[in-house]
Amino acid sequence: MAEGHSPLAQFEIKRWVPIQVGDIDVSFTNSATFMALTVIGVSAFLVLGMRRHALVPGRWQSMAELSYVFIANLVKDTVGTEGRPYFPFIFTVFMFVLFGNLFGMVPYGFTFTSHIVVTFTMAIVVFMGVTVIALIKHKLHFFTFFMPPGVPLIMAPLLVPIEIISYLSRPVSLSVRLFANMLAGHTLLKVFAGFVVALGLFGAFPLAFIVALTALEIVIAFLQAFVFTILTCLYLNDALHLH
């Protein structure tokens, strides 16, 4: 198979506009293009959709309101009223990941969420932010998080390392979940797309499979954005209320 037709070729970073600031490479890549498109898409969807301020919403306004209410309820249900100040950030996370995933489904598009460095950066920001919030709110009391009350002291040597490891692995699991889902889905699509041409007339079977898989991938795009968001909410809830 030629290098250009490898199922992984779609994930290649292409420096469309090479930019160098000092020693730092800040080239405008295909990934950056789709990030910018996501920002434009989300802003257009929410700002233009709401520009009429209609009391009885039209189609676009309805969708914009629906996404708002969906995430607002998610924050309220998982974090409670204390999560209200963090709502704009959580809403941004959801819309950014969702539109990033969906724009990645456009043929010849690029899925920036399929890169571990992107998802891990987002996860580590969430992780550090949540930890800072917890430290500010609970001071040293925060460390009782790793030693829940009511547990016999003799269990501490076993329990505390487990809790610490599970806490530190949060950004890893959060980022790998999203990255792996996107990577696997898009790779699978590409692999089967290769079969369509290779099998000639029988290529109709993998083609039908691709159609079904595309629908599934769109569902996964929503689902993974939702999972990323709800986990962010749960971590925030732990930070605000400890156990």
CA gap 43, 64 in Å, rounded: 10
The answer to the question of residue 15 lying near another protein (CB under 8 A) is yes
Nearest CA among 83, 187, 179 for reference residue 123: 179
Which residue from 118, 178, 231, 233 is in contact with another protein, where contact means CB under 8 A?
118
Closest approach, Cβ 219 to another protein, in A, equals 23
Q: Which residue, 80 or 88, has its beta carbon nearer to another protein? A: 88
Which residue from 2, 3, 22, 24 is in contact with another protein, where contact means CB under 8 A?
24
Chain positions 39 to 58 lying near another protein, rule: CB under 8 A, are: 39, 42-43, 46-47, 50, 53-55, 57
Q: Which stretch binds another protein (CB under 8 A): 30-38, 197-205, 211-219, 220-228?
A: 30-38
The answer to the question of residue 172 lying near another protein (CB under 8 A) is no
Q: Which stretch binds another protein (CB under 8 A): 18-26, 74-82, 126-134, 207-215?
A: 18-26
CA gap 243, 230 in Å, rounded: 17
Q: What φ, ψ does residue 64 adopt, rounded to 5°?
A: -60, -45
Q: Which residue, 122 or 221, has its beta carbon nearer to another protein? A: 122
CA gap 68, 71 in Å, rounded: 5
Helices (H), 105-203: 116-138, 156-168, 170-198
Q: What is the CA angle 213-216-219, rounded to 5?
A: 155
Helix (H/G/I), strand (E/B), else coil: 108: coil
The answer to the question of residue 184 lying near another protein (CB under 8 A) is no
CA gap 137, 223 in Å, rounded: 31
CA gap 231, 223 in Å, rounded: 12
The answer to the question of residue 116 lying near another protein (CB under 8 A) is yes
- Which residues of the shown chain bind another protein in the complex (CB under 8 A)? 8, 11-13, 15, 24-29, 31-32, 35-36, 38-39, 42-43, 46-47, 50, 53-55, 57, 61, 64-65, 68-69, 87-89, 91-92, 95-96, 112, 114-118, 121-122, 179, 183
